[in-house]
Amino acid sequence: MYGVILAGGSGTRFWPVSREQSPKQLQQFFGSGTMIQNTVQRLLPLISIENLYVGTHQQQALETLRQLDSFAFSPNHLLAEPCSKNTALAIGLMAKIVEEKDSEAIMAIFPADHVVSNAKKFSQALKKAEVLAQKGFLVTLGIPPTRPETGFGYLKQGLELEDSEDTYRVDRFEEKPDLSKAKKYLEQGTYFWNCGIFVWKASAILGELQQHSPDIHLQLETLMGCLQNSSGKLDYLELNEKGCKLFSSLPSISIDYAVMENSSNVVMIASDIGWNDVGSWNALDEVCEKDFKGNILTGNILAQDCNNSIVHGQNRLIATLGLKDTVVVDTQDALLVCSKERSQDVKKLVESLIEKGCPEGRVPATVKKPWGSYTNLDSGPTYLLKRIEVLPGETLSLQSHKYRSEHWTVASGSAEVELKEKTFHLKANESITIPLNAKHRLGNPGTELLIIFEIQFGSILDEKDILRYDDRYGRH
């Protein structure tokens, strides 16, 4: 069986930890890894790493690969999408890729940022699904609802299949219901949550796409011809310029709308696999351990007389007193305090921030780069102080700046600095000044993390003031 992890979401409901440029699946909210790491970990007993594929936005490609490095995930199994186009197009292209490798391949689709807590039932359901997919069905998992949830789509159970327990035809796909409908669904016992996990033959889903979504299917062959290894250091899969244009022009539609709702070939395995979409901060209540007062506290926290609250911090001290059903999320540059029942509306709040032009709405305080990351620490009218971390063996582009000079001091690790065609080696407590317009490059030749403090000076201090001459990650 092949596995495809869809990791294209942004998870704005988890702002300020999750932002457009550092989305939910790349964050660690609980457990031992980030959400995508936990997803891979969960699949490994069922699908070998050689058969796993990941689709994500190109902005997240390198960080996603970095997070999957410890699993020996093959970079060219990652498809970097030029823009977000919902699931139908990504699944179609992935099916093509998998089918090309193995024309009989069965592929399973998994969201990158959900939780499945019952490993045994999950495994059983997937094995059952594999058998059904072999017979040509489009198989989906149906989760028995435990509450009248209005945030999910539902599957209406049809006739039971003869030779497979808890397996049914799907009568209808129901969109997110209102509360009264959701209550009826729950009472009737014949509606199941649509959890976004699907199993099918690659050839079967392609056939269904051809029938129900010919506009997308028609272009898949062309898109396949546009796939190339990325020009940077890590050769993940990306589309060439023509492919990106084509991809961007195609409809943004979910596989549910594009295929599942229209196909007569869909079956559902009903199984309580302990699924949770971890859709917003209050969902942590269902997936995290709580203290005896019902609190979930992460970070440097002193909580007095607080109940059923979620406090998620980093280094800063957070003291809370007498809170009930409150969510506090602290990051370096932005703080959220929210009543728990309004967790869903964090999405709208982030939309307001973006409308107002607040950079904190999209960009995280620590900006990930192919070579590491940077964090703004302080700024004034004519200066900007950054902490720059360069990963072992990585190198920034050869570049120059028109409007700013820079002063670098090594705090930790060792740096190799190319400046005006000379090379300097700096260790902790050593510094160098980069004049206006000077070609320079910073690298970490060591085996430890390099941390430098960069102070920029100039009348214009903007990330866009960068002229790149050479870049190992293909950025020009």
Among 142, 153, 313, 370, binds a copy of itself (CB under 8 A): 313
Contacts of 264-267 with C-beta under 8 Å, sequence gap 24+, read 265/136, 265/137, 265/138, 265/204, 265/208, 266/137, 266/138, 266/139, 266/140, 266/169, 266/170, 267/132, 267/137, 267/138, 267/139, 267/140, 267/161, 267/167, 267/168, 267/169, 267/170
In whole angstroms, the minimum distance from the beta carbon of 445 to a copy of itself comes to 19
Inter-residue contact 307 to 295 (CB < 8 Å): yes
Q: What 8-state DSSP symbol labels residue 71?
A: G
Strand order in the sheet with 326-330: 296-298, 310-312, 326-330
Place of tokens 């961007």: 248
Among 172, 324, 425, 468, binds a copy of itself (CB under 8 A): 324
In whole angstroms, the minimum distance from the beta carbon of 342 to a copy of itself comes to 4
Determine, following the binding rule CB under 8 A, whether residue 367 of this chain makes contact with a copy of itself.
no
Q: What 8-state DSSP symbol labels residue 19?
A: B
Place of tokens 């950054």: 386
Among 70, 412, 423, 437, binds a copy of itself (CB under 8 A): 412
Among 41, 229, 433, 437, binds a copy of itself (CB under 8 A): 433
- Please choose, from the candidates 265, 276, 251, 136, the residue with its C-alpha nearest in 3D space to the C-alpha of residue 197: 276
Among 321, 421, 422, 463, binds a copy of itself (CB under 8 A): 321
In whole angstroms, the minimum distance from the beta carbon of 319 to a copy of itself comes to 5
**Beta-carbon-side half-sphere exposure of residue 268 (alpha carbons within 13 Å):** 30
Inter-residue contact 288 to 144 (CB < 8 Å): no
Among 249, 304, 447, 459, binds a copy of itself (CB under 8 A): 304
Determine, following the binding rule CB under 8 A, whether residue 320 of this chain makes contact with a copy of itself.
yes
Q: Which stretch binds a copy of itself (CB under 8 A): 84-92, 195-203, 323-331, 440-448?
A: 323-331
Q: What 8-state DSSP symbol labels residue 240?
A: -
Query: Could you tell me the two tokens for 261?
Result: 């709702």
Determine, following the binding rule CB under 8 A, whether residue 252 of this chain makes contact with a copy of itself.
no
In whole angstroms, the minimum distance from the beta carbon of 158 to a copy of itself comes to 40
Q: Please tell me the distance from the alpha carbon of residue 472 to that of residue 476, in angstroms, as a whole number.
A: 10
Determine, following the binding rule CB under 8 A, whether residue 347 of this chain makes contact with a copy of itself.
no
Inter-residue contact 243 to 227 (CB < 8 Å): yes
Non-local CB neighbours of 27 within 8 Å, separated by 6+ positions: 11, 14, 17, 18, 34, 35
In whole angstroms, the minimum distance from the beta carbon of 296 to a copy of itself comes to 15
Determine, following the binding rule CB under 8 A, whether residue 17 of this chain makes contact with a copy of itself.
no
Among 249, 429, 447, 459, binds a copy of itself (CB under 8 A): 429
Non-local CB neighbours of 128 within 8 Å, separated by 6+ positions: 164, 167, 269
Determine, following the binding rule CB under 8 A, whether residue 349 of this chain makes contact with a copy of itself.
yes
Determine, following the binding rule CB under 8 A, whether residue 159 of this chain makes contact with a copy of itself.
no
Inter-residue contact 384 to 428 (CB < 8 Å): no
Determine, following the binding rule CB under 8 A, whether residue 291 of this chain makes contact with a copy of itself.
no
Determine, following the binding rule CB under 8 A, whether residue 20 of this chain makes contact with a copy of itself.
no
Q: Helix (H, G, I), strand (E, B), or coil: what is residue 185? A: helix
Nearer to a copy of itself, 160 or 291 (CB): 291
Among 131, 363, 411, 466, binds a copy of itself (CB under 8 A): 411
Q: Which stretch binds a copy of itself (CB under 8 A): 25-33, 162-170, 263-271, 336-344?
A: 336-344
Determine, following the binding rule CB under 8 A, whether residue 333 of this chain makes contact with a copy of itself.
yes
Determine, following the binding rule CB under 8 A, whether residue 358 of this chain makes contact with a copy of itself.
yes
Nearer to a copy of itself, 15 or 193 (CB): 15
- Please choose, from the candidates 395, 282, 290, 244, the residue with its C-alpha nearest in 3D space to the C-alpha of residue 14: 282
**Which residues make up the interface to a copy of itself (CB under 8 A)?**
15-16, 302, 304-305, 311, 313, 316-324, 326, 328, 330, 332-339, 341-342, 345-346, 348-349, 352-353, 356, 358, 360, 377-378, 380, 382-383, 385, 387, 405, 407, 409, 411-412, 428-429, 431, 433, 451, 453, 455, 457
